[in-house]
Structure 1
Amino acid sequence: MKKMRKGHMILCLIALFLSNVAIMADMVIIPIADNLFKTYGNPTVINFILSGAAFLSVFTAMACAKLLYKFSKKTILIVSMILFAVGSIFGAAVDNIYYMLIMRILVGVAMGFVNATAMALIAELFDDEGARGKAMGFFNASMAGIGAVISVVAGIFAVNGWREVFKVYWISVPILILMILFIPMTPPDKEEVQENGGTVTPKKPYLSHQIGLLLSCFAYNLIYGVIFYQVAVLVFERGLGNESSAAILSSLGTVGSCVLCILFGFIYAKLKRATIVLGYVGICLSYLMLYLAPNAAVAGVACTLCGAAYGYGFSYFFMRCTVIVPGVKISGSVSLTTAIGQLGMFLSTYVCTILQGVLNTTGIAALLPYAIGAAGVGAVLSIILTIRDRKFPSEYVEQ
């Protein structure tokens, strides 16, 4: 791609960073989770409304890997943002749970495309690994910051009626305009071919490293989703406040995520493969605090730490997936990582429902010890693999 002028690059990055409104769309409806259960009383459909967008984005993110070879990243982003605007702004225009479900389907389709394409574009804009790590960290920091803002605004709107939160999504219209004006029209990705026309086969094995990373990404998102989607349930279960309190706790998580994502590029430059160990430890500590939390203040600190750990890990998976595969596979690797992460987030609410049935509880607090144990296992495995990585480096080196 032709090198961009500094001013154009800044405006392009601003447009990309603001596209996180689509990726963080769930932050608007999380504060009204309890209202949805009380209003419609259909746990299966409501669970899908809460996390189904993440599930659908699994498939759109995987489809994005193919579309990137046929269309410009700008085209994919603009079409996706239009779908998002329609599905989100008019998400509760009709008082019907199945109508809301259909609108959330549009949001989910858009989420997967925007997430995968934005990350792939950043990888294309920054060839240098250090610069790419910092750019991805800042992108994820803006994701967290935007999530915090829209969550707080949604919580304020929710006090006047839960349907009011959908007004927050009108911000997608000016963002769409910025994307049209400042994101460059990149050519479709091309697979590297040999002189005889055949596709180049990478000479160094990389699939085992990629599969390991994807499994870790899936587990990380599954564990984090326990609180991300149901913090409002925990708030009412522990008597920590109302919808506004749930929104504040959610936003504190995104604030923590924002801060650590800004520092991610510098931390990754030092720790490389070991970076994710600290993320798992952070989730363990935050869930332990939530399990023992005697008041809203402790819960606030825990949610801040939890969000910081997630944003940090999120940045790691997207950065790592670009350095363990051949250059021609980066866009596909980003799309696959997006899909696997979203699948973990989606399944979290259903895993919680299954565990609640086994434990004969309707709350979230009783599930936290299991999440702590899972995160602890992740930390230990990451330490073992980091030690192994010193002898057998997982970074892909072009032949």
Structure 2
Amino acid sequence: MNTRKLSKARMILILLALFLSTSCTMGDMVIVPIAGNLYDVFPQVGLVNAIISAPALIGVPFCLLGGYLSDKMNKKILMVIGFALYTVTSVFGCAFENVYFILVCRLIATGVAWGLTSSAALGIIAELYEDEGKRGTVNGWYNAVMAALGSVLSLVAGYLAVSAWQNAFRAYWINIPILILLVVFLPSMPAEKKEASAAEEVKKGRTTQAGWMKGLIPILIQVLLVASSYYVITYMISVYVIDTGIGNEAFSGTLSSAGTICSFLANLAFGLIYSKLKKATAIPSFIAIGAGFLLMAFFPSRAVALVVCALMGGFWGIFYSFFFTECSVVVPEEKQGTAIGITSAVNGIAMFLCTYLVTGLKSVMKAESVTAVFPVFGIVVLGVCVYVVLLLMRGKKREAA
């Protein structure tokens, strides 16, 4: 898309709308403060479990669909449809105090709608910014706002839920003005047929149409292994705190907030980091996350947990921005939306798998605490680091030849 036709003010408003649309990705944060209330109110434990965790799994095929559609139809229409679905089903997500009604609304809001909007939003950014350096910078800002907005939604929902748990859903009212921003300011982005020669694609560092997945597969491997490890920290930090006896629920919240704040700050600087390290950008993240698991396993203390969670959160933010930027760089331009959708889907699978991996490892290792399995995740992430270093070395040898 020729962005020269768009004024600076219009570009700012476009980015504002896209950044705020991350409320869909972070929609689960509204449910976090009232999860305990849901278990108290509804006796169907299995359905309450689904309300909390099933949307991530349901969103996986819709990430794939959203990525495919963003290459085939007007991205603005896809984005507006997806966010409209999210707005309606989140704002009215508790219109009836019925576990089945709430479950269906949740599956649509942060499952179906998340899959469509996350792929469409990143596809729009990829089309607006063809230069990978600028795209990386904007992706970093996008993810920084996402982290900040998630914290705000959780805080607001928790405050509103003090009087009644149903009031937490009022935090979703912010989606109404965001939807209006998307409708008014997003430019029309019809699918374009781009005929680039194989030589041109290779020159840009992309694989050709015939083998377009070749450059994407290593990224997907990294995402699946590292994300399924890191999300253990995201979702089970309170279990670690209890198992090690280093604090209570308040300290668990502090650790979570420390990671979120550092992720926000790291994403603001992602553009600069990516411009310097390029394809090696993720290596420091792998070292920090892998070493972090080992430190938390062998040296459990409040100080270690606080420092490590903060560092892991920051380096995770860098890796998160990296793989969503890089996945659109290594494929032909007409496959960018599809690549983003596939990457989102793999990230969603990792999100869903993390708790089951912990349970499975504890069973295999006959371990009683989550701390005992942390070294496994540390070794896996450090193994990914070695894998990426070898890939980069092989790439340099090919270039030299």
TM-score by length of structure 2 reads 0.86
**Offset at 1:230?**
2.8
Residues 389/163 of structure 1: CA separation in 2 closer, same or farther (3 Å cut)? farther
Partner of residue 137, structure 1: 140
User: Partners of 1:328 and 1:339 in 2: how far apart?
Assistant: 19
1:306 pairs, out of 296, 312, 323, with 312
Partner of residue 240, structure 1: 247
Does residue 334 (structure 1) correspond to residue 340 (structure 2)? The answer is yes
Partner of residue 117, structure 2: 114
User: Partners of 1:179 and 1:137 in 2: how far apart?
Assistant: 20
Worse-matched range after superposition: 270-279 or 150-159 = 150-159
User: Partners of 2:281 and 2:72 in 1: how far apart?
Assistant: 35
List runs of 5+ in structure 1 lacking aligned partners.
195-200, 394-399
**1:81-100 counterparts in 2 under 5 A?**
81-100=83-102
Partner of residue 301, structure 2: 294
| Residues 128-149 of structure 1: CA deviation (Å, up to 9, x unaligned) | 1211111111111111221222
User: Partners of 2:132 and 2:235 in 1: how far apart?
Assistant: 33
User: Partners of 1:84 and 1:240 in 2: how far apart?
Assistant: 36
Worse-matched range after superposition: 119-128 or 346-355 = 346-355
Does residue 151 (structure 1) correspond to residue 154 (structure 2)? The answer is yes
Partner of residue 397, structure 1: none
**Offset at 1:97?**
3.7
**1:69-80 counterparts in 2 under 5 A?**
69-80=71-82
Residues 112/181 of structure 1: CA separation in 2 closer, same or farther (3 Å cut)? same
**Identity between Structure 1 and Structure 2 (%):** 37
TM-score by length of structure 1 reads 0.86
**1:217-366 counterparts in 2 under 5 A?**
217-237=223-243, 238=245, 240-242=247-249, 245-291=251-297, 292-295=299-302, 298-359=304-365, 364-366=370-372
Aligned length: 385
- Counterpart of 1:30 in structure 2: which amino acid? V
| Residues 91-123 of structure 1: CA deviation (Å, up to 9, x unaligned) | 344444433321221121111111111111001
SS of equivalent to 1:187: coil
Does residue 123 (structure 1) correspond to residue 126 (structure 2)? The answer is yes
User: Partners of 1:384 and 1:73 in 2: how far apart?
Assistant: 37
User: Partners of 2:38 and 2:301 in 1: how far apart?
Assistant: 27
- Counterpart of 1:317 in structure 2: which amino acid? F
Residues 40/285 of structure 1: CA separation in 2 closer, same or farther (3 Å cut)? farther
| Residues 262-294 of structure 1: CA deviation (Å, up to 9, x unaligned) | 111111112122111111112123334444442
Worse-matched range after superposition: 232-241 or 105-114 = 232-241
| Residues 348-399 of structure 1: CA deviation (Å, up to 9, x unaligned) | 1222333344455675333322221221211221222222222236xxxxxx
User: Partners of 2:247 and 2:85 in 1: how far apart?
Assistant: 36
- Counterpart of 2:86 in structure 1: which amino acid? F
Equivalent pair of 2:71/2:337 in contact (CA under 8 Å): no
Equivalent pair of 2:224/2:347 in contact (CA under 8 Å): yes
| Residues 206-250 of structure 1: CA deviation (Å, up to 9, x unaligned) | 4332111111111122112212223344445546333x5544433
| Residues 151-187 of structure 1: CA deviation (Å, up to 9, x unaligned) | 3333444555554433322211111111111111211
Worse-matched range after superposition: 204-213 or 61-70 = 204-213
SS of equivalent to 1:202: coil
Equivalent pair of 2:125/2:138 in contact (CA under 8 Å): yes
| Residues 270-325 of structure 1: CA deviation (Å, up to 9, x unaligned) | 21221111111121233344444423x54333322222122111111111112211
What's the RMSD between the two structures over aligned residues? Answer: 2.8
Residues 116/318 of structure 1: CA separation in 2 closer, same or farther (3 Å cut)? same
**Offset at 1:42?**
6.0
